[in-house]
Each structure stands twice: as structure tokens, then as C-alpha cells.
Chains A and B, each alone.
Chain A
Amino acid sequence: MFFYIEMERDLLLLPQHFGPNINRYLRDKLIEKVEGSCSGRYGFIICVTEVKKIGKGRIREGAGLVTFPVKFGAVVFRPFKGEVLDAKVTVVNKLGFFAEVGPLSVFVSKYLIPTDMRFDPQSNPPSYVSQVSDEQPMRVTVASEVRLKLIGMRIDASEIFAIGSIKEDYLGVL
């Protein structure tokens, strides 16, 4: 799920950047540092929309660096258990397939794929194929788009990994 939240970060700036462009530097640095990062709490920080406030810098003792507290608003993507997402398949193997929801990597185990979908190692790239006879077979392969439901997540300090399922109604290949 996407959220717009306000966050605060401390940024370190080298003295060499002090000057008229300091705000730009800080902003650049913030974006560089924060965008695309992932925290266990907020999820993936997708985009910094605005820098709301740059606090007073504090010179670090013993070093010339200055710490600025920066308040900013950002769009974050925080996956939740049970959430249904559209994902793009990246890797398919006999254990299941990996898919990506933007920055989030999701693994869908073969046990969480409908039983009528079988792994087809012959196909290239490998795929899961639904054996419905009369129709065009449904195929999950690399670059397929699937709708999946997150059933479990591993959230580390800097990474989120999820397990998904397409074994429910309205889930599967789009």
C-alpha cells in the first residue's frame, strides 16, 4: 500500500558544500540517500515529494561535518500481509516463481500456485502452465503479469521479502 508520510532524517554535509547552494546540496543528498531505500517500518521510500524543513545544522565535534535534521514528505510503499498486488514475474523455477512489485520481491511457491498449473520445464523460459484443455493455456512465465496476494513477509532493517499466493479466487495471470 502506498502512503504519504512525513519523515525526518539527519543529513551529514561536508563543509565544502557550505555556501549559497547548501539547500540544493541537502536536497540532492536527501534524495540520493533516501529514495529507493527500504526501512522495515515504512517500507520502500518511493519518492521524496518535498523537503519541508531543514533544521539548524550541528557541527560534529572533531570533524568538519555538519548534521542537518531534514523533514520531508515522501511516498512510501509498505506491503502488508494479505494485500493483493499486481506483480511482474522475474524468475520461474521448479520451486515456484519470483515476481516483483516495484521494489518488492515476492516469491510464489509451487504450493501457492493453483494445482492445475504445472511447471513446464520444457518451455523457454520455464513457465507454469494451466492445463485447461479447450482454452488458450494460461501461462506464468518470465515477464508475465500476475495478481497475487501476500501471505507472508520477512522484514529486515533494510529489506523486505514476501511470499505470495495465486491460489485464490481472482488471482493469477492478468
Chain B
Amino acid sequence: MKRRQEEEEEEEEEEEGVELDAADEDRDDDANDDGGSDEDEQKERQADTQPKQKKARIRSNFIDDAAEVEGDDDEEEEDEEEEDGEPRKRQGGTQAKQKKARVRNFIDDVAEVEDDDDDEDDEDEGEPDEYEPDEEAEEIGDKDAELENRRYDAERSQEEYEKMAAAVKARFDGHDARQRYDDDDDYGTNRFQILPDATKDPRLWCIRCKPGHEKMLVIQLMQKSLDSQHTEKPLQISSALCTDFKGYIYIEAYKEAHVREATQGLNNLFYRIEQVKVGEMTDVMRIRVAEKKTALTRGSWVRMRGGERNEYRDDLAQVIEVDNDGARATVRLIPRLKIYLQNADGEQSDRIRPQARLFRPEEVQRLDGDVTGPHLASGGREFFMFDNQKFEDGCLIKDVSTRNLRWDDTVVPTLAELERFKAGLGGDADMELLQAVNMPRAGVATFNVGDIVKVVDGDLKHLKGVVQSVAPGGGTVTILPQHEALTEPLSFPAELLQKYFKMGDHVKVVGGSRHIGETGIVVRVGRAETEADRKAAGTSESLLYIFSDLTQNEIIVASAFVQECSEVSAGLERLGNYDLHDMVMLDRTQVGVIVKVEHSSFKVLTTSNAVQTIELQRMGRKKLSKGVVALDQVDQKIEVGTPLMVVEGQYMQRIGVVKHIFKAYVFIYSMDVKENTGIVCVRARQCRLCDKTAKPTMQGFEAVGSSAPEFSRASFVPQSPSQLMAGMGMGPPMGGAMIGGGKGGGKGAKGGGKGKGGKGQRDELIGQTVRMTKGAWKGYHGTVKTTNETSARVELHGKQKVVSVARDSLFKMNLNPASRQSAAPSFSGGGGYVSQSARGWDDGSQTPLHESIGLRTPLRDDGFRTPMHGPDDWYSAGSRTPLLDGSRTPMHDGSRTPLHDAFAPMTPMHDGVWGSGGTPAHRPTTPSATDGFADGGFESAWGAMDEPAFAAQSPYAGLTPGTVGTPGFNPGSTPFGESPFLAATPDAGYSPMLPRTPGQPSTPGQPSTPGQPDTPGQPSTPGQPSTPGGPGTPGSHWTPMADNPYEPGTPGAFDAERYPDGILVEVTNQNNRKAKIVEVLDDSYTVQFLDQPVNANVQHQDLALVRPVKKDRVVIIKGIERNSFGTLIGIDGTDGIIKLQANLDIKILDLNLCAKLAD
């Protein structure tokens, strides 16, 4: 009898829908103890093939029941006997069940209900497999022949259920429920009068029941109570309830006897009744914090539950679909196919758990698996069917009950598992998977003091408050409620709280998503509106839609990761070693600039103006654009920091500042571009320098290559103050010199190889001592480290700090008064510069820079200045600099005395300057400017210039005494007459040597330039001559070296510049009397005054060229055309149009390069 009953119970478990009836039926059975009903026996008979294992299961059920149904001991024994005696029957029972199960595959309801109990079964018996629909499905698939049979079974069992239900109902109305106890009346009616006193209230009794049956029992009790209400013996209990607490129901009653009476005959209840202590009664009613089971969401990782026999137990799976009520989910698994276990005989071993490996249709087919497909799924994906299972991308797609899934915190996919999935899903799986892994669990918010939070669960749900304190670890949060009745701070577990935001709040993303660090204003609060939104935020609950300050875009973030703030962030600016706007190599030929830093990746703008997302791990190496140059549309030099206007293409009219340069591309940061944080990539040739203050840094080239006015501008609008000085003070000659220098530099680079070539355009502010006249650092002194068009980085003297200040707020601290008066005669100007430059020299690498541009730096290199200084008493500054020391110190020492002394150190120097520096400089100017740059040769020059080292060396190298004496430069050998002068120069510049090279000035080269035109520019600046020569010289240095045979010998000579004889000059210390140079001595000139035939010995600095006028015959004293004769046929600003005598070429040259012949 008992057996039968128990079987029914099992069925009940599987079918909650009919549970009530079934339970009643039990009672029915109890009542009609004697003899099983026909149905039961029939059932037993069916069950003849029940597998042995089933026995344990049945047994356990049986025992449970025994416990429940107290007082049926006799029955139990009877059952026991039955069992012992008729194992066959038991088997039959299970088989019946199996069959039933099969049937259920055809009857959805039944199957569904059964599922509900699955996990209980799992827990109880550890054999969930029996009930897994999938396995059943397999069986069906295998045995179509049994279909008929099963249908029959189904029908029959259905009938049975109905009958049973009817019987139970009939019996239910019987006497059992109507019992009454006499002592009931003591309580009841007036008990409400003493309500406040809990001690006199009904007590709460706690009864254990079978887990999962709590609700049903309570309903049964209610039913019972209702039924008996109007009978003589209503139930004496006050209430019955169950909580979330599994396995217990509570009954409110005055006496245990009442409880016992009420529960009489109820199934699934255990015998023991306990009284709940008065103090704990309220606890029973307390709403427990809902089990923190986050909803299963698409993409999340889960693990399969299951007993020993489930081959997928504990396997990782990814949810790809969840049904509406969250009861069933479709998951993606790495299949464990039994077919792979087939041994040679074709038998499959059930014992061994198949290995997880991706499904490969071909492999399975090879093993004689019946694979069908590929079929086309709705999403355009292909899938295969095998063994009634669906395979997609190598993964098994399985529909399971969510009860069979585990998705708590402990589910952390291992890397190996993920790799396997990745392999199956292919490339595009990457993001999806990673996202799923990296996704922090939403809802676990970290709270900060001051956050406004909302209680999301418990009895104070919806209460708002302000966080007052957070316990260490963040587990408990104390909030001050915003509620009129609650004035005391309350503590909550963090899980109960949620950050609370309103529309319009300004917030910052502090974690969780890839938007971390961004700020914005909340425009919407609520659930995810679309699937995409949910995906973006990683959760669908309490999302914030934020209008980002940074990107003016909408971002969606879970509120847990957001914090109210007032600051405006520019987004993340740094990740790993990479900063926003850094340029990185993407591959060997491509670069990109970081336009957005995300949580663990970057958005990178490539040269094709496309944005790529690149993870931190895949980022290439950073690339610096320092020192890289490009040319704009009109060949002006573009560097980092150069303001540009885009003049062609998509970004036409945009103005921005160069951030990076890569080959022909420049990355411009433009304020008016909204996308990509203002970075756009354009070709350098599509741009143009746009700032008026931007100087054409390659004036030299430009000047020569372009029209006269430009040229003049070039010479007169040097970027650096020193250039200005040169322009102003030195006038025309300077300009020429500069140009020469520039070119020379270029060429030198070409010819001289690595060692030579300067760094392009060096701002001569660099290295200078300045005082800030504006801003926060006003009044501070410092040394300029680097500069750009508008600002300079200044290392403060008073503080260990480098600050950035606007250029125009810098005041140069010249140690010598002369240097301050920039308008003063060039000489003083020169002096000033020199002193300034002296600092620059400290840094070996810097000097070269100067030179490369050639204009100023060269001067210094050559050391012209030093001499100049000497006369001005500033040379000392020059000599101080360490660099100078290297090469110059000796000179200074040596020269100093002579210079300063009565001796005329200057003259020689000057001579040197002009002779060597000047002359060579000239040459380079014209040709190199035109050629070098025009033909792209300049590039190499630039490249070379990038080498800072050379600069330092080369000048000095040039200066070396040995060179001075070298015969190679002799005038005859060089086409240019200059060479002789060159020789002289070294000596002049470098004191020790000078004395030795006196002879050179007189070299025949000079004779070639008989006329000594007065140079107008020079007169004013006695010192100048040296300066102009200087700038040109270094450049010229190299140039000659590169292409001229005479150069090797001449290096020394270049330092100074000398006038050829035969030209007209003004003697500045004699009221600018005009004179003709008749002889060039090594450190002075012999001149013949025009107004009286008197010869005089004059120092170089006392001479100034006479500016030629139209139709004058001139000799070119500098540059590649040096010593060429020509006729000035026109004047354009500061440029002269000269027709060369030799080949009738028309040249446009700075007038300062031309000396008027004294004919």
C-alpha cells in the first residue's frame, strides 16, 4: 500500500498541478488502508523493467514519506514486506516513470512542471539526469517504434490521475477535517482584546516539511480551514504561513494540539512541531533580503549543474537567450560528444565523461555520426544537427532550465575555457567574450560619503538618504534618511542600496564601463530601452543615460558606477604608457594618434582619418614627432606646435595646431572639430602656416626660391630675436648671411654626412635667461628650455620647476646693456646675442640647432661673436660658456689679450668673419637655397640637422688650427675668390690660429674683387660684419665641404668673412668716409680714401659696405656666387637684381651680399 502511495507522491512531485488532489488521495489511501486500489496494482504491473538504480531513489522517497505520515507504522512494515518480496514491482514503477517521461515530451505541460522539481530531485537524490528532458529526447529520437506504446501510457496515466483526483475529492469532505476539541473555546473569541500583549497572542508553531511544498501546504491548510469553517469543528489555528525559508511552514495557534489537528493528514509534513519563541516571532515575519540572484542575462557566463551522470556538469556555458520569465535559457556549450568515446567495437562507454571539444561536422561524420546540415538559422548563421542536438560554430546550443544553471559570483570563466569558446566562435567573438568577462557585476556599487542612495529592498524600500559613512570594506553603509519620520542615521548592507540620480544631475563615471572617467549630465534614468543599450551598459537595471561633456554623445552606464560630481573631465587621459594625443605605431607603416582613452583600449585616428579601437596590449610603440618637420603648401616648415590652416580637402578652413607629423601627414588639433577630440589628419601639403607670427622658418630657401619681397622678408623676419637683431642691426648683410647659413646647413648635411648638419631652426630664445613679465610666474627668472610659436617652457631659477609661459611675456635678461638695446647698432646687438647665446652654448646639442638654420647659430659657432664681445667687453660671457671652452677657450685666451689690447684683435676677427664666414656663406646661399631646397635635397639636409651632435663638433672642427693653414683652399683652386678669405677667418675667430694665417687674407682671391663698394648696412654696425658672417658661416662650412674641393682646407676660414679688395667701403670711425680697399691684410685692410689719396690701415669692424645703387658694378661677397662680378640692374626692397658678368644670369640677392666696386 505504502509503495503505491509513494509512487503517487513521486508523481505529485512531478506534477504540482495536481498535487492537491494527489495529496488528498494519499489521505484517501490512508483511510482505505486495506488493499490497494485497482489502479495501483495495475501500475505496479506495468513496471516490470525498472532498473535497479531506481530502487535507491524510491527507497528514499519512501522513507521520507514514512517520516511524514506518522502513525502509519503498520503500513510501513507492510510496505517493507512488499518491497522485499516484490522487487519486481518497484522496477515496474520506475519504468512507468520513464515511460511517463517520454510521454511528457509530447505533453508540454507535464514536462514543464516536472522541470520545476528537477533541482530538488537533484539535491535529494543526485540523479537529475533521469528528468532531464534532453536525455529523454535522445531516447525518443532513438526509439520511434515505441511511440504508440507511450501514447497509450500517457492516456492511461491521465485517466488514473483523474480518477484519483475524483476519489480524493470525495473523501476530502469526510469527517477528518471536522474534528473539534472541547478546549478550543477557552481561546478564540476575546483574544483580540489583549492584543498588545504578545505573550497572550497565539503562538507560532514551526513545522518542518518537504522543501518546496511550503506554499502548497499553506494553501491546503487554508482550503481545509475554509471547508471546515462552517462545520462543527472548524480548524483552531489562526493562520498558516510560509516564508522564503525552505522546508518550514509556520502555523499560528494557541496550542500544539490545534496545530497537530489541523495538519492531520497533510502530506509532505514532518512530524515534529516546534514552538517559535515569542521573541523570535517577529523575525519570522521579517521580509528577508531577497536572495541576491541577479537575473540571468544574455552573454553572461554560467555553469551547468548536474550530478555525476551529467557530462556537462560544471561546464562553462554562455547564455545566448533567456525566455521571458527566466525559467529557461538557451546556452552555448562546448560539446562533450559520446561519439568520440566509441571504441573499436563501436560501443560507447557510459562511464567515461566525454572530452569537451568543438563540434566538427566532418569528424563526426567520419565516425558515422548522422550529421545534418548546415541549416540556415534565422540570424544567417549556420548550424548542424547531430543526435537531435544543435551545433553552431562548433558549440552545442542547448535549451535548459535555468534551474540547471549556476550563475553566481563563483562562476568565473578560466582563460582556457574562454580560449576554447573563442576558437569556436572565431574572430568576432573576441569582443563579445571579453566583454562578458570583464564586465564587473553591476549592482555592487561602492558608495562614498555624500552619495544620495535609495533603498532597493527590505522594509524600507524606496527610502532615500545620504550616505554618511561607509564601513571598511564597504559592506555596511550608514545613511541619513531623507524622510520626515526618520531622523536617525540607519545602517544598511550595501547590497540594499542603490545610487540615486535624477535627470539633470552632473555625474562622473567612476568605474565599471569603458566610459570610466567621463563626466556628463544625466538625461534619463531607468531601465534599458533597447537591447543595444543593455549591452552597452552591461545590465538593464537602473541605467543612466548621460550626455557626455567630452564627446557630446550619449553614454549609458549603470548607476552603480556613477558618482555625482561638479568637475568636468576631459575623459581619461592616460592608460598604460599612453596619453591622449600620443602618436603610436600601428604597424610598420602606419601610425595613429590616440583620440580617446577608454577603459582598457584606445581609439586611434589613423592617417586615413579612420578611427580604430586598439586594446592596450596591442598598442605599438609611441612615436615622437619632436624635431620632425614637414613642408606646407608653400614649402614653409611645419613642426609640432605650428599653427596651420587646412586649405584643401575635407577639413578646409580648419585652423589648428600641429600635434604630430608622420611622413607627409600632419595631425592637427583643431578646436572647431568636434569629432575625435579635435584631432584631424591631413596631408602637410594641404595646409598652410596660418599664424601671422609664424615665420617661414626656412627663409633661406624660400627667399631664394621665391620672389624678392619674400626674400627680404625672410631675412628680416627671423623668428628668433637674434634674427630680428640681425635684421635690424645688421641690416642687409645679415640677411644675406643668414640665408647663406641656412643653405649651408642644408648642404652641409648632405655632404658632410651625419656629423654635420644642424638641427633645423633653433629658436635662439632657447637657453636664454628670461624674466617673466606676466602671469602666475611674473617676476621669476628662468632659462628657456624649449619654445614654440606662442609659448616657451622656462626652467625657473628659483624653483625646481619648468613652466610654460607665453612668449610675449618673456623679457630677455641680457647681462650686457648692449644686448638690451636691440635697436642699437648691430654690433651691440650682436654682442647681446652672443651673450645670450652663450647660455645656449652650454648645451652642446643646442648649438648645432642654431646653426642648422644657419642664421644665428652659425655665427656663434664660428665664434665671431666672441671677438665681438671682446671689443664690447662681452666676450667674456662668450668665453664662459662651456662649449666655447672646448674650442674657443684657447682662442679666447689667446685672442683675448690681443683683442682687448691695443692690438687690433677685432680687425683680424672681422676679417676672418667676412672672409671666411661671409664668403663661404654667400656661396651656399644662392645655390643651395635654390637647388637644395627646390629639388628636395633639403630633406636630407633636415635629416642631418636633426643630429644635434654634429653641430657642436663641426664648427669647431672647422675651427681647428690645422685647417687654417691648409693650402687646399687657396684662391686659385676654388672658383670663388673667397677661399683666401676663408683662410684668414679661422685665425680671426680662433685666436691662436689667427696669427699664423695672416698671409691668407692677401690671397689672390681678393684681387678679383677690386671694387670696394660701401655697404650701407654695415657702417652703423661695426661689430656686425662679424655677426652676419657668422650665421652664414657654419652653414657654408659644410656646404663647401660637401661640394667644393677647396673646402677641406678651408674650414677654418669660414669662421670669418672678409671683404675682397677693390670694393667701396665706408670707414665708420672716420665719419663714414668712403674708401676703396686696396689690400686685404690678414687682420686688417689697407684702404684708400676716395676724397684724398691716402692709404690707411683699417680694422674690419670699422668698415661698412656701401650699398650699391642701380647700375652699379658689384661684386658678390658671399654665397656661392661669391666673387662674381655683376651689375645691379634693379633693387627690390632689400634685394638687388643682379646680372652676373660671367654668364649674364640674373640673380636676386640681398643687397647686403653685394659690395659696390670702387671703379
By a beta-carbon cutoff of 8 Å, the part of chain A in contact with chain B is 62-63, 81, 95-96, 107, 109, 111-112, 150-156, 161, 163, 165
Q: Check if A153 sits within 8 Å of B504, measured CB to CB.
A: yes
Q: How far is the CB of B944 from chain A (nearest CB, A)?
A: 44
- Which of B523, B549, B566, B778 has a CB less than 8 Å from the CB of A109? B523
**CB within 8 Å of A: which B488-536 residues:** 503-506, 521-524
Q: Check if B521 sits within 8 Å of A63, measured CB to CB.
A: no
- A69 CA to B841 CA, complexed, in Å: 46
Q: Check if A163 sits within 8 Å of B568, measured CB to CB.
A: no
Which residues from B are CB-within-8-Å of A112?
A: 503, 523-524
Q: Check if A109 sits within 8 Å of B547, measured CB to CB.
A: yes
Within 8 Å of chain A (Cβ to Cβ): is B553?
A: yes
Besides A152-B522, A153-B504, 15 more A-B contacts (Cβ < 8 Å) are A62-B778, A62-B779, A63-B778, A95-B547, A109-B523, A109-B524, A109-B554, A111-B545, A150-B504, A152-B505, A152-B523, A153-B506, A154-B568, A163-B521, A163-B523
Q: How far is the CB of A136 from chain B (nearest CB, A)?
A: 28
- A112 CA to B525 CA, complexed, in Å: 11
- With A109-B523, A109-B547 known as contacts, the answer to whether A163 contacts B554 (CB < 8 A) is no
User: Of A154, A161, A165, which is in contact with the most chain B CB atoms at under 10 Å from its CB?
Assistant: A154
Which residues from A are CB-within-8-Å of B553?
A: 95
- A60 CA to B521 CA, complexed, in Å: 43
20 of the cross-chain contacts (CB-CB < 8 Å) are A62-B778, A62-B779, A63-B778, A95-B553, A96-B523, A96-B547, A107-B523, A109-B545, A112-B503, A112-B523, A112-B524, A151-B504, A154-B506, A154-B549, A154-B566, A161-B521, A161-B549, A163-B522, A163-B547, A165-B503
Q: Check if B568 sits within 8 Å of A152, measured CB to CB.
A: no
- A155 CA to B246 CA, complexed, in Å: 54
Which residues from B are CB-within-8-Å of A63?
A: 773, 778
Which residues from B are CB-within-8-Å of A111?
A: 523-524, 545
Q: Which residue of A lies closest to B779 (CB)?
A: A62
**CB within 8 Å of A: which B538-576 residues:** 545, 547, 549, 552-554, 566, 568
Q: Check if B503 sits within 8 Å of A152, measured CB to CB.
A: yes
Q: How far is the CB of B553 from chain A (nearest CB, A)?
A: 7
User: Of B503, B524, B547, B549, which is in contact with the most chain A CB atoms at under 10 Å from its CB?
Assistant: B547
A-side binding surface: helix, strand, loop or mixed?
strand
- With A109-B524, A109-B545, A163-B521 known as contacts, the answer to whether A152 contacts B554 (CB < 8 A) is no
- A150 CA to B503 CA, complexed, in Å: 10
Q: Check if A156 sits within 8 Å of B568, measured CB to CB.
A: yes
Which residues from A are CB-within-8-Å of B505?
A: 152
Q: Check if B504 sits within 8 Å of A163, measured CB to CB.
A: yes
- A90 CA to B224 CA, complexed, in Å: 71
Which residues from B are CB-within-8-Å of A153?
A: 504, 506, 521
Q: How far is the CB of B289 from chain A (nearest CB, A)?
A: 32
Which residues from A are CB-within-8-Å of B503?
A: 112, 151-152, 163, 165
Which residues from A are CB-within-8-Å of B554?
A: 95, 109
Q: Check if B521 sits within 8 Å of A154, measured CB to CB.
A: yes
Which residues from A are CB-within-8-Å of B773?
A: 63
Q: Check if B524 sits within 8 Å of A152, measured CB to CB.
A: no
Chain B interface size band reads: 10 to 19
- A165 CA to B554 CA, complexed, in Å: 16
User: Of A62, A111, A153, which is in contact with the most chain B CB atoms at under 10 Å from its CB?
Assistant: A111
Which residues from B are CB-within-8-Å of A154?
A: 506, 521, 549, 566, 568
- A109 CA to B552 CA, complexed, in Å: 11
Q: How far is the CB of A159 from chain B (nearest CB, A)?
A: 8
Q: How far is the CB of B627 from chain A (nearest CB, A)?
A: 35
Q: Which residue of A lies closest to B504 (CB)?
A: A152
- A120 CA to B82 CA, complexed, in Å: 79
Q: How far is the CB of B806 from chain A (nearest CB, A)?
A: 15
Which residues from B are CB-within-8-Å of A151?
A: 503-504
Q: How far is the CB of A87 from chain B (nearest CB, A)?
A: 16
User: Of B568, B773, B778, B779, which is in contact with the most chain A CB atoms at under 10 Å from its CB?
Assistant: B568
Which residues from A are CB-within-8-Å of B522?
A: 152, 163
The 7 closest A-B pairs by CB, nearest first: A152-B504, A109-B523, A111-B524, A151-B504, A163-B521, A152-B521, A154-B506
- A109 CA to B521 CA, complexed, in Å: 10
- A135 CA to B421 CA, complexed, in Å: 55
Q: How far is the CB of A140 from chain B (nearest CB, A)?
A: 16
Which residues from A are CB-within-8-Å of B523?
A: 96, 107, 109, 111-112, 152, 163
- A161 CA to B566 CA, complexed, in Å: 12
Q: Which residue of A lies closest to B520 (CB)?
A: A154
Which residues from B are CB-within-8-Å of A163?
A: 503-504, 521-523, 547
A-contact 0/1 string along B176-191, CB 8 Å cutoff: 0000000000000000
Q: Which residue of B lies closest to A151 (CB)?
A: B504
Which residues from A are CB-within-8-Å of B778?
A: 62-63
Q: Which residue of A lies closest to B503 (CB)?
A: A151
Q: How far is the CB of B503 from chain A (nearest CB, A)?
A: 5
Q: How far is the CB of B533 from chain A (nearest CB, A)?
A: 11
User: Of B505, B521, B545, which is in contact with the most chain A CB atoms at under 10 Å from its CB?
Assistant: B521
Q: How far is the CB of A65 from chain B (nearest CB, A)?
A: 10
- A165 CA to B521 CA, complexed, in Å: 13
**CB within 8 Å of A: which B776-815 residues:** 778-779
Q: How far is the CB of B1109 from chain A (nearest CB, A)?
A: 40
Which residues from B are CB-within-8-Å of A152?
A: 503-506, 521-523
Q: How far is the CB of B933 from chain A (nearest CB, A)?
A: 43
Q: Which residue of A lies closest to B524 (CB)?
A: A111
Q: Which residue of B lies closest to A98 (CB)?
A: B552
Which residues from A are CB-within-8-Å of B545?
A: 109, 111
- A29 CA to B648 CA, complexed, in Å: 39
Which residues from A are CB-within-8-Å of B506?
A: 152-154
Q: How far is the CB of B970 from chain A (nearest CB, A)?
A: 59
- With A62-B779, A95-B554, A163-B521 known as contacts, the answer to whether A107 contacts B547 (CB < 8 A) is yes
Which residues from A are CB-within-8-Å of B566?
A: 154-155
- A46 CA to B547 CA, complexed, in Å: 27
Q: How far is the CB of B97 from chain A (nearest CB, A)?
A: 54
- A81 CA to B566 CA, complexed, in Å: 15
- A96 CA to B549 CA, complexed, in Å: 15
Q: Check if B524 sits within 8 Å of A81, measured CB to CB.
A: no
Q: Which residue of A lies closest to B774 (CB)?
A: A63
- A155 CA to B519 CA, complexed, in Å: 13
Q: Which residue of B lies closest to A157 (CB)?
A: B568
- A153 CA to B521 CA, complexed, in Å: 8
Q: How far is the CB of A64 from chain B (nearest CB, A)?
A: 11
- A107 CA to B1115 CA, complexed, in Å: 71
Q: Which residue of B lies closest to A63 (CB)?
A: B773
Q: Which residue of A lies closest to B529 (CB)?
A: A111
Q: Which residue of B lies closest to A152 (CB)?
A: B504
- A47 CA to B661 CA, complexed, in Å: 45
Which residues from A are CB-within-8-Å of B524?
A: 109, 111-112
Q: How far is the CB of B239 from chain A (nearest CB, A)?
A: 46
Q: Which residue of A lies closest to B545 (CB)?
A: A111
Which residues from A are CB-within-8-Å of B552?
A: 107
Q: Which residue of B lies closest to A61 (CB)?
A: B779
- A163 CA to B546 CA, complexed, in Å: 11
Which residues from B are CB-within-8-Å of A109?
A: 523-524, 545, 547, 554
Q: How far is the CB of A120 from chain B (nearest CB, A)?
A: 18
- A101 CA to B1152 CA, complexed, in Å: 61
Q: Which residue of B lies closest to A156 (CB)?
A: B568
Q: Which residue of B lies closest to A111 (CB)?
A: B524
Q: How far is the CB of B493 from chain A (nearest CB, A)?
A: 31
